[in-house]
Amino acid sequence: MKNRPILLLAIAEMLIWACIYYSFPALLLHWEQSLGWSRADLTGAITLAVFVSAFCSPLYGRLIDAGKGALMMTAAAVIGGGCMMLLSLVEQLWQFYLLWAVIGMCMAGSLYEPCFALITRARGAEAKRSIIFVTLVAGFAGTVSFPVAHGLVLAFGWRSTVLFFGAVAIFVVAPLMWLGASAIEQAGAHRHSANPHLSVAERSFLRSSVFWCLALGFGLAAMLQGITLHHLLPILSEREIHPEVAVIAISFIGPMQVAGRLVMIAAERRVSIHGIAIACFVLMAASIAFLIVAGVTPVLLIAFVILFGGSYGVVSIIRPVIARDLLGERQFGAKSGALALVYLVGSASAPFLGALLWGWGGYDLVLPGLILLAGFGLALYLVAQKRATAG
């Protein structure tokens, strides 16, 4: 059955995101209360994890090109699960950081980036539908992680909760990852010759202006999304939005991501993938404009949530599809990994950069700056598209 491996991989992605990514925000307050470390100290660990993930992505992309993607993703699930279980023994901050650094390596090998690269490499032009399906299922990871973590912590404490998440990653996710990814990899093996060593010629994409314009364009989008999400509560507080309304607004961003992906499915026959990409940049800028005036007209907060959540959800789908279109399929894992490095660095640096801008001029400086990021990102993307078409 052609779609069975995709279903297995989709379930595996939902669970691995729930176990090793969303577990951090789900347990953050419990760690703060139990371990006595500051929130800044604790959140530094997830920032470290994302940076480590970014710098591991190119290496893991080459493993996918070498035909070892299924083995890599399965091993990442097992090691990541083991680290989650070891968190139950943590007493010192350095231990916490060390384990999250290793988990960051596992994120690079098991979350969306390697999954999408594997599917795109195996299925080429047919990859988009499979990627959309995976994101629709995995989009419920937060819905799974937060209530499960809450219930388990109340019943057994946070140490037992991380043991549970680790066990799920090892004994449920890893087998699903292996069955799904290996079947996809084997089915697409005829499309590529496995070669773990990139020649100088095969690294030539790193000298391509198309690659760098594409990488930086989506990197700026990641920065915009990261700053907005991490600073949204204080932004809304500054605009005198009631705290309960602010929480409700944030809680609807996730469902709007799924809604955006469903709209993309409905529109894909009428609008090209490149038209959708342009729309994402425009809608991100429009959402920030609505956020700026939400303090004066609170009803516009609804428009912000719809536009921001929808465009945020679609970007994760279109990046690998556009990368394939503009950069080609050859050594796609390496190209995808290099693109992921820039994207994840933008995402990881976003909270700090947002705080830096806020320190200089408050959110009245940050929000117009986000619109500029969307504009520069769109300009870079259009240059990449034009040069790829001309070449």
Residue position matching structure tokens 């080429």: 124
- Return the CATH fold of 204-390: Growth Hormone; Chain: A; (1.20.1250)
Helices 273-292 and 363-390: crossing angle, nearest 10°? 170
Show pLDDT as tens, one digit a residue, over the chain (391 residues).
Answer: 468 999 999 999 999 999 998 898 888 888 988 998 887 788 888 889 988 998 898 888 889 988 899 999 999 999 999 999 999 999 999 999 999 999 999 999 999 889 988 998 888 777 878 888 898 888 788 778 888 988 999 999 999 999 999 999 999 999 999 999 999 988 766 555 545 454 444 566 777 889 999 999 999 999 999 888 878 878 888 888 887 887 778 778 878 888 888 888 888 778 888 999 999 999 999 999 999 988 778 788 999 999 999 998 898 888 888 988 888 877 788 888 888 889 988 988 888 888 888 889 888 999 999 999 999 999 999 999 998 887 6
In the chain, list all ranges with CATH 1.20.1250.20: 4-191, 204-390
CB-CB contact of 27 with 103 (8 Å): no
Closest CA to 217 of 324, 315, 289, 119: 315
Cβ-count burial of 376 within 10 angstroms (0-12 exposed, 13-18 middle, 19+ buried)? Answer: middle
> Which CATH class name applies to 4-191?
mainly alpha
Task: Name the token pair of 68.
Answer: 């070892």
Identify which of 67, 329, 331 has the alpha carbon closest to the alpha carbon of residue 199: 331
Burial class (CB in 10 A: 0-12, 13-18, 19+), 193: exposed
The single residue listed with the structure tokens 């940050």 is: 366
Locate 52 and state its tokens.
């480590």
Reported as half-sphere exposure (CB side, CA atoms, 13 A), residue 173 has a value of 31
- pTM of this prediction? 0.80
